[in-house]
Structure 1
Amino acid sequence: MLISFLDESYTQNRYYIAAFTIESKDLAILNAAVADAARYAEGFGVPPGAELHAHEIMSGRGSWKALRGQQRSAIAIYQQALTNIAKLSGIVCVRGVDIPRLRARYRYPDPPHRIVLQHVLEEVSACGRQRGEHVRVVADELPDQESHMTQVETYRQLGTIAGRPTRLAHIETPITFACSTTTPGLQVADLIAYLYRRYDGHVEKDPRTRAEVEKLWQTLAPVTRVARVWTPQALKPRTRRGLRRTTFWKPARRDCKDISPTGEKEARNPGEERLPRRRDGEDADAREGAHDRPVDTDEPQIAPYMTARASRVEVSWKPSPNWTVPMFRLGYVLVSAPDCMAE
């Protein structure tokens, strides 16, 4: 039989749950390791039997107020506790989720605690499957613990959702909720969850503090199975196929004609009349000349241009030797200037 102790830690942007799984026969060794760390802390003025609460240790609050302002002493006690944990035959699993990315990915996401609890229970169940044993889960007391018990029962009956669907066959139900003050295993899970939060989701102002946090986390490397944060990928914006949205006036290249004075790179308009096919014996020059428009030098031809002002579309006119009706793309609608040229 395996026993897994669960505790949580979180910031505004990240949510974590740590699980420390150990053989039930090694519980006495676990309790002795926690008691040894507490005795080590007594040398720094901490009262006997103080609970190993990570936040109070590092901030010097509660039973650990003797460590206020003594960062090196707090790190030394933390290091001693983690060294004792690493010597046990336990397994460390930490899962987390990026809360802003979760809300950006889903319109109505599940609560972060519900998602991370599913992920960490999947890892714990995998540990039990590898060892061929069932796992009894002990979690820290929560205000809504009844809903979490129902959640685990649902997973056992219908299976987990998303990720790797499983029915958590090696998790015993119902899960147990206990007080961390009287449960050394929960104190170990609290130390692990807090440390990984500082390691993964906290920006240290002092590089020396960052180096100490990394050193503490490396102490648990031999017994760590997984430590990972789920970062949901944002959805790509949906666009209507075949349509390109534009925020500025731009003529469609395939529909427009170069109206430069040189007349180079001319493209035919969709509405422009095509040349008739060449008949037998017909001169090519005569056929092409029949399509030419007469040009009156006294009244020069003009080409329409479209301009945008405020929220309306206006048509302006500009003299040009080569007359054409360009097409313009307005949002998703094709708009063409009217044919107002009379021959």
Structure 2
Amino acid sequence: MWVLLTYLDESYTDRWYWMGALMVPDNVAIPLSTALDEVVLNAAKAYGVNAESELHGYDLFQGRAHWSGLPPRARVAVYNAAMKAIGAHDVTIILRGVDRHGLARRYASPKPAHEVVLSHLLERVDGYAAMREELALVIADEVDNPATHRSDLSRYRVDGTGGYRSRRLTRIVDTLHFAPSHASRLVQAVDLVTFLYRRMANGTGHDPREAAANEKLWSWVEQRRYHSWCWSPTARQMHEGPA
């Protein structure tokens, strides 16, 4: 039985809140981490960036932090190489989102978007692990209130996740673990995936050339996408599609 190392990260705007899960079989974790190290090493040789630079979606898109001063073409090349490396490995991608404006319109006292989306995401992670007869160990980027999220997971194990698809989580082992993104290439990997998908799904950027470039980047990992859905609380349609 494999343990699926499941890395989580978030990406959001004022209206849209997304979280992504990158489920990595334990025997794939080191090869993928090494491949992403090589992406940064190649960037260091080609563009003079620090060899320990963090692969962060926002920074690569905007030319911030370690990637400041690099022209757009170089930053896109690095993003492309990283997405290609992710897609070349046996990983599974799950993405969940919510319309925060819809939450505020539907509920007088809405739950925080992070809590809503995390419960939906963990439902899908647990269901995928059960289907594969495997276990999942969840590792997320650092947050301000880790104890709250660990408490939520404990509650989901006993009472279920709530909502119309409520599920008791039985395949997620231990607790929620948190790691600083700068120390984990695999946390960085799910950041790249989630940031890009959120931009594509919610139409950030109206330049057709940017949209085409984003789709090209995403094409490397599309085959790894198992499930994605954004909940609009005020919409009538509740069907979430396949998977």
Category of TM-score, reference length = shorter chain: over 0.9
Q: Could you tell me which residue of structure 2 aligns to residue 278 of structure 1?
A: none
Q: Any unmatched runs of 5+ in structure 2? A: 237-243
Residues of 1 paired with 2:83 and 2:28: CA distance?
Answer: 17
Contact 1:46–1:66 (CA under 8 A) maintained in structure 2: no
Residues of 2 paired with 1:163 and 1:22: CA distance?
Answer: 28
Contact 2:150–2:175 (CA under 8 A) maintained in structure 1: yes
Q: Could you tell me which residue of structure 1 aligns to residue 4 of structure 2?
A: 2
Q: Could you tell me which residue of structure 2 aligns to residue 20 of structure 1?
A: 22
Residues of 1 paired with 2:204 and 2:148: CA distance?
Answer: 33
Correspondence for 1:47 among 50, 60, 83:
50
Contact 2:7–2:186 (CA under 8 A) maintained in structure 1: yes
Amino acid at match of 2:57: A
Q: Any unmatched runs of 5+ in structure 1? A: 236-343
Residues of 2 paired with 1:33 and 1:17: CA distance?
Answer: 24
Amino acid at match of 1:54: G
Q: Could you tell me which residue of structure 2 aligns to residue 141 of structure 1?
A: 142
The CA RMSD measured in Å over matched residues stands at 1.3
Residues of 2 paired with 1:203 and 1:157: CA distance?
Answer: 39
Residues of 2 paired with 1:169 and 1:159: CA distance?
Answer: 10
Identity of aligned residues (%): 33
Alignment TM-score, normalising by the size of structure 1:
0.66
- What do residues 122-172 of structure 1 show as CA deviations (whole Å, max 9, x unaligned)? 111112111111110001110111101100100001111003111111011
Contact 2:67–2:75 (CA under 8 A) maintained in structure 1: no
Q: Could you tell me which residue of structure 2 aligns to residue 200 of structure 1?
A: 201
Residues of 1 paired with 2:170 and 2:95: CA distance?
Answer: 20
- What do residues 177-215 of structure 1 show as CA deviations (whole Å, max 9, x unaligned)? 111111111000110111012111243132111111122
Contact 1:11–1:201 (CA under 8 A) maintained in structure 2: no
Correspondence for 2:64 among 35, 40, 61:
61
Structure number with bigger Rg: 1
Q: Could you tell me which residue of structure 2 aligns to residue 175 of structure 1?
A: 176
Contact 1:56–1:62 (CA under 8 A) maintained in structure 2: yes
Shift of 1:10: 0.4
SS where residue 161 of structure 1 aligns? coil
Alignment TM-score, normalising by the size of structure 2:
0.92
Amino acid at match of 2:18: Y
Q: Could you tell me which residue of structure 2 aligns to residue 157 of structure 1?
A: 158
Residues of 2 paired with 1:234 and 1:28: CA distance?
Answer: 42
SS where residue 68 of structure 2 aligns? helix
Q: Could you tell me which residue of structure 2 aligns to residue 29 of structure 1?
A: 31
Residues of 1 paired with 2:33 and 2:204: CA distance?
Answer: 33
Higher relative contact order (CA 8 A, sep 6+): 2
Residues of 2 paired with 1:20 and 1:31: CA distance?
Answer: 13
Amino acid at match of 2:171: H
